[in-house]
Amino acid sequence: MEKKLWKDHCVLLNKDEENELEISGYKTQGCRKALCIAGYFLSCGALLLLFYWKPEWDVWANCIRCSLEEADVVLLRTTDEFQRYSWKKVTWIDLSTLALPVGSNSDGPLVADKDSVINRAVMKPQLKMRCIQVQKIRYIWDFSVKEFKKVGSLEDSNTCHSIHHKFGAGLTREEQKIRQLVCGPNAIEVEIRPIWKLLFKEILNPFYVFQAFTLTLWLSQGYTEYSVAIIILSIISVGLTVYDLRQQSTKLHDLVDEHNKVQVTVCTKSKGCEERESCYLVPGDMFLLDGKKLSLPCDAVLIDGSCIVNEGMLTGESIPVTKTPLPLVESPMPWKTHSMEDYRRHVLFCGTEVIQVKPTGRGPARAIVLQTGFNTAKGDLVRSILYPKPVNFKLYRDAFKFIVGLSVIGMFGLIYTVCVFVSHKKPVADVVAMALLLLTVAVPPAIPAALTTGTVYAQRRLKKKKIFCISPQRINICGQINLVCFDKTGTLTEDGLDLWGVIPSEGSRFQKIHKFPSSTPLPWGPVCGAMASCHSLVVVDKKIQGDPLDLKMFDGTHWEVEDSSTAQDGVGALDTCIVRPGPKASNAPVEGIAILHQFPFSSGLQRMSVVSQKIGEEQYDLYMKGAPEIVSSFCRQDTVPANFLKELKMYTSQGFRVIALAHKVLNLGKDVDVSNLKREEAESGLVFLGLLVMENRLKQETKPVLQELTAARVRNVMVTGDNLQTAVTVARNAGMIHRGSKVILVEANEPEGSTPASIAWQLAEDCKENTAALCEVCANTEEKITLEGQTCNYHFAMNGKSYQVIIKHFYSLLPKILVNATVFARMSPGQKSSLIEEFQKLDYYVGMCGDGANDCGALKMAHAGISLSEQEASVASPFTSQIPNIQCVPELIREGRAALVASFAVVKYLTLYGLIQFVGTALLIWQLQIFGIHQYLIQDVIITLLVCLTMSLTEAYPKLAPYRPPGQLISPPLLLSITLNVCFTIIMQTCGFLLVKQQPWYVVLAGQRYGSPGNQTVSPTSPGENGTSSGAQSTVLSYEDATLWPLSSINCIIVAFVFSKGKPFRKPIYTNYVFSVLLALQLAICLFLFFTDVDAVYSGMQFLYTPMIWRVYVLLMLLVTFCVSFFTEDVILQNKHLWLLIKSCFGYQSNSQYRKWQRMLQGDPNWPPVNAEDFAAKSTDEIYVNPTYKYSDED
């Protein structure tokens, strides 16, 4: 019973999706609410503030637990490691206000689509439905499954047939109104957040609340100048943050607002078509694409006609994409499953631009609205910007632990102060004020803000280098990257392919190669026909546009694309693409070719086909081009040359990109509608035409960059959609795989019949000549696994198919393979994302560099995704480089390392500054004194604030070090650094405090504030009396104060210098001119105030004169502290070799998963397996590993 109650109370929303949430039901209770309101008043709003920070406490205090069906409030919790809470009110949608058709109140469905969640959510006869809105998405309560379901999109369960028949004629006017009310407007509305809202949100940050408490305390103690200085700085800081947030909000609003008011022609059932503003569109509406350029206002599925779309907004790559209509087929499968991962070819995405529309003979192109508003692809991207996923990085969690640790120290200070003041029988007000003062001194409230300064400066430097960032907190994570995945084409190699040659095939034999460029044009024949017509090129504004590969291939024929706006021959009436021989083309017996229909290319299918017709002839032709292995499988085997694989390998092993061409004559008869052709039927029994060989040159920056990364111990991995052999060759040429390294090809196969899944390990042939050199020592800069008796490394290479089989049947082998896999070929976009996730499971910090087109998922999944795109911000990835080569990768790692080290330095400095002040104040409190207002002012504003603002300005060191900076604040070197420096401070200040009491000129409390030592009259008084000076001054004036102030102030400058480490991650301190000059000025000011004998200065600073010799002693103490601190930090704590020695003495080993696997495999004499085959166990998914390859724990 309890279990059922819990199931009704708590379920998962968006199960197995990226934005999965746990949702629990609660009911507001009057008496609880009344008690909470009383609590708000009694606590002067503190309880309200606590509930603002902890929304779950708010719900638990005001409400009682109940089932979701009865709930009027829902509590939401993210299911990731952060487990953030929020709550939403359950509201009601009232449909009774609409003029609904007769019979709506009866048991009949409210909307025609019987599967629609709207029918299951309406409460009859009241015609109401319950709903909640979470992160801009609306959910309604489905009574049949007792869950909240998303609205604003068509049900995924619809088949191809039902989409055509249910929605092909449009919705009725009544249904449109119901859907408008339930789904809300079709608009991606980003409100420009009011300044007062942003201001409140910023001010209510716990950091500012703590600061407000601190300032109130200081003002009550009369520290007006310092408090005013901090208030002014806080106002500037809050003002800048609010301005920045407002700018971002305005920018995003302007970016999406233009697409909210597009005019579209919507068809209503039995009412005809009418122009309507796009915000009134609802899922299921049918609208016309009438040939005008249109920025799509929703996600829609094309049901008639085809069109060409620019998806640059989504992918960052402005290559026209051809969209084809959803086939009208009788299939019980949902339409997305029927089209497999290629359903996107039928979908027009919101925010993309329709360049060209090709209607069919039946009339204009038609599309059905799939999703509206924030449910669309564009809405999803905008939501990911509005609600970014928090970055899980130890630095921020460690900083919080630091603040907690300092607060504990502050609490000890508070107890100490209370004890001292109570023992002297001081008034309660003084005890409370002084105790709280020491608590606030220990915790510098600037730590969270200071962490961001390094990031802000790094972001500014990256911008100058044309690298743009939409997620600044990821910059610090870039400092930890130790593996980078690279896409090949357009990233490592030139974007454009150069046509190298064509190898025609006739009579199942390869003919003589036709090389490009050539003095003789390509002769007419099926190969020329395929190259002229098998592409997705379009003429936009009298310029041919399309995939770079298609453009190069078409250029090689010297044919021309006719602009559809000027087409003749009657064929152009269908807006068909026509190609004709150009003046430089070889003589062809045809006037031109009309491309009637396309089966577009996709990464999943790795092929494309077109149906064409020679002008003036009745015969239809189908041409196909694609990956050679795929195309040959569609051809009749008697037409494929026997040496096909050998020939293919010969070119791919030289790094060429090879495309296969095939052809088939279609017997369709007269006046047939080619758009209704089924792809599966058309693409069968083809004749193999030959191979198209394209040269894909390495970019000149690729090799040096990869060498630099390898030298810095950053692993390089290639993840490409290209052929495996080509990828291995490019990896060799680029230096990813070194000379003398073995390449082991991993091939895994699915189970067939009674044969279980198998995995084979084959030594690549081009390595055999290197076996003699196997004992040759590899470059010691490369991270490698040393094998027994040999020092050369090895690399695994595999294709997407094998990767999929390994994931499914050999998952336990995957980590072993991944720690040394370098080449992944023929990888689909989904597999790329999966691979990055698997690398992350091995504790790698993964960077991904791609061109943004089919790498979107991988770029988002990686710790740092870098898109090479001309757009300033590709929504696909956190980083975008406008310089289209991989030089941005080391640049980003450099800046990340510098920002990370800078953040650590600032945190260390602020901790020391707080503790230096804490120690000084604690010593003075022993005799019921504190530092003067101006003394605090100089330490806090003149020194610390300026140090925090300028310390991070030091630029990144140009050479990447072969190791990474520490990734966590709570690490032995860092904690030791802080602990030792605090010890030096305590020793120095305690010595100063005790030694000054031993001086012959020392008196307990001066009767005179200042005056020259010669004529100073001294009247000894006890600490409890005020002497001749006022109460406020007597709490400051003393020889201890005059000694401790210079010791603590100059100590702050010393630690700022010592912690500003330069090499190996940042340039030397003297290159940061602003910081260096500031430190010198600060030191000069402190020395001037300490050594000058000017009465006005002494009275303003509340100092007592001390003999010159004592001042020299104080200076010597500081000099000794500087030498000891500098030696400890630079020679001991920052000594990489010393730490490695200590680690080896204590037997410390890295806990990272990939390190554990490397150590395990290093002791395994039978790894890597070569020229062997393993099988998966038949009965279960467990893997059977050949005993010879099984490592034992004893090794």
CB atoms within 10 A of CB 44: 9
Q: How far apart are CA 899 and CA 324, in angstroms?
A: 48
Alpha carbon 363 to its chain's center: 44
What's the burial of 264, exposed, middle or buried (CB within 10 Å: 0-12/13-18/19+)? Answer: buried
Nearest 5°: phi and psi at 221? -90, 0
> Which of 659, 644, 655 minimizes the C-alpha distance to 766?
655
Measure Cα distances from 522 to 663, 664, 711 in Å.
Answer: 18, 21, 47
Contact 262, 170 (CB under 8 A): no
> Which of 447, 439, 53, 50 minimizes the C-alpha distance to 214?
439
Q: How far apart are CA 1026 and CA 1029, in angstroms?
A: 6
Contact 450, 914 (CB under 8 A): no
Q: How far apart are CA 637 and CA 686, in angstroms?
A: 9
Locate the DSSP E strands across 388-488: 467-469, 483-486
Q: Which two tokens stand for residue 620?
A: 């239809």
Contact 158, 328 (CB under 8 A): no
Contact 252, 189 (CB under 8 A): no
Q: How far apart are CA 389 and CA 366, in angstroms?
A: 37
Query: Which amino acid is present at 708?
Result: E
Q: Which two tokens stand for residue 1187?
A: 């005993």
Task: Kindly give the interhelix angle for 46-53 and 55-62, rounded to the nearest 10 degrees.
Answer: 120
Q: How far apart are CA 354 and CA 612, in angstroms?
A: 23
Q: How far apart are CA 109 and CA 144, in angstroms?
A: 14
Residue that has been written with the tokens 């998962």 in this structure: 12
> Which of 601, 549, 606, 661 minimizes the C-alpha distance to 799?
606
Beta strands 467-469 and 365-371 are unpaired
Q: How far apart are CA 536 and CA 529, in angstroms?
A: 14
Q: How far apart are CA 728 and CA 709, in angstroms?
A: 19
> Which of 997, 1000, 822, 1017 minimizes the C-alpha distance to 924?
997
Q: Which of 304, 380, 398, 487 is catalytic?
A: 487
What's the CA dihedral at 717, 721, 725, 728 to 10 degrees?
Answer: -10
CB atoms within 10 A of CB 103: 10
Alpha carbon 222 to its chain's center: 48
1041 is catalytic: no
> Which of 344, 274, 284, 232 minimizes the C-alpha distance to 857?
344
Contact 354, 289 (CB under 8 A): yes
Contact 286, 368 (CB under 8 A): yes
> Which of 618, 619, 614, 563 minimizes the C-alpha distance to 592?
614
Q: How far apart are CA 549 and CA 535, in angstroms?
A: 9
Q: How far apart are CA 942 and CA 1084, in angstroms?
A: 12
Which distant-in-sequence residues (6+ apart) come within 8 Å of 338 by Cβ? Answer: 159, 160, 329, 331
Q: How far apart are CA 298 and CA 312, in angstroms?
A: 16
Query: Which amino acid is present at 23?
Result: I
What's the distance, Cα to Cα, between the start and end of the chain in Å? 53
The catalytic residue positions are 487
